[in-house]
Amino acid sequence: MTLTEKLPTEFRQRCEGIATEQRSLLNLRAFEPLPADLLAAQLNAIILTPEQISTLDPSVVAVLLDSDQWSAGIINQSPLWIVNNPRHTPARRESNLMHEFGHLLLRHKIVRFDPNTGLPLRRQSDEDEATYLGGCLQIPRRGLLWAVQRQMTLTEIAVHFNTSEEMVQFRSNVTAVNIR
Ligand SMILES: [Zn+2]
């Protein structure tokens, strides 16, 4: 099942609304790129890499720094600390962080870790919602319409919004805004 099939229309509209609200708080229009670091500052979030977390065991830091298998996570809510995988590309970093801001703005409960496996106990519905809102934050539907009206290519749109081309394609699919 695709995300648009799983998530109701009202929820998806709410996400566009949240994306618009966050942009307007930063005096940004729908067609302007929203850098994750700018939104982080607005949300009082501190972005850390594993070695910057003094409470982590050095062996855990080494494992995290050696792995591509994780992207980002909220490790503390007050103050808000988000750990991010420094191995990922800049475009991936943007989407990782926007996904975490999605959890935050939707007031999802912080993910707990299974004490036996050490793996995060994620709820799939929360993950789907955060991914959807993260995409809206990166490329609002109105921003995508603007780009299409200017006849920008998929690659140009990705560069403009500082996203991956996969993200542009995903946003095109879920918003039914077709890129030429
Ligand atoms: Zn998540």
Q: Is residue 91 part of a domain?
A: yes
Q: Is residue 61 part of a domain?
A: yes
Q: What SS3 state is found at 7? A: coil
Q: Which residues of 132-170 are buried (b: 16+ CB within 10 A; e: fewer)?
A: bbbbbbbbbbbbbebbeeeebeeeebbebbbbbeebbeb
* Ligand 1 ion local residues (Cβ < 5 A): 127, 130
Beta strands in the chain (DSSP E): 45-48, 72-77, 80-84
Which residue from 126, 107, 133 is spatially nearest to 23, judged by alpha carbons? 133
Report pLDDT for 118: 67
Q: Is residue 176 part of a domain?
A: no
Residue 82: what are its φ and ψ, rounded to 5°? -120, 125
Separation of CA 154 and ligand 1 centre (Å):
26
Domain interval for residue 79:
3-170
Separation of CA 176 and ligand 1 centre (Å):
25
pLDDT, tens digit (0-9, with 9 covering 90-100), for 79-120? 999 999 999 999 999 999 999 999 999 999 877 777 777 677
Separation of CA 119 and ligand 1 centre (Å):
13
Label residue 70 by pLDDT band (50, 70, 90).
confident
Q: How far is CA 93 from CA 53, 84, 142, 176, 179, in A?
A: 18, 7, 23, 26, 24
pLDDT, tens digit (0-9, with 9 covering 90-100), for 132-174? 999 999 999 999 999 999 999 999 999 999 999 999 999 999 9
Q: Is residue 165 part of a domain?
A: yes
Report pLDDT for 60: 87
Q: Is residue 34 part of a domain?
A: yes
CA gap 170, 49 in Å, rounded:
27
Which residue from 162, 151, 108 is spatially nearest to 130, judged by alpha carbons? 108
Q: Is residue 178 part of a domain?
A: no
Separation of CA 70 and ligand 1 centre (Å):
10
Report pLDDT for 152: 98
Report pLDDT for 155: 98
Report pLDDT for 116: 74
Q: Is residue 180 part of a domain?
A: no
For residue 4, is pLDDT > 70?
yes
Label residue 78 by pLDDT band (50, 70, 90).
confident
Separation of CA 108 and ligand 1 centre (Å):
9
Question: Could you say which DSSP state residue 156 is in?
Answer: H
Separation of CA 125 and ligand 1 centre (Å):
10
Q: What SS3 state is found at 107? A: coil
For residue 67, is pLDDT > 70?
yes
Separation of CA 54 and ligand 1 centre (Å):
23
Separation of CA 158 and ligand 1 centre (Å):
22
**Number of domains into which the chain is organized:** 1
Report pLDDT for 3: 85
Average pLDDT of every residue of the chain: 93
pLDDT, tens digit (0-9, with 9 covering 90-100), for 5-58? 899 999 999 999 999 999 999 999 999 999 999 999 999 999 999 999 888 889
* Cα 61 from chain centre: 23
Q: What is the pTM of this model?
A: 0.91
Q: Is residue 175 part of a domain?
A: no
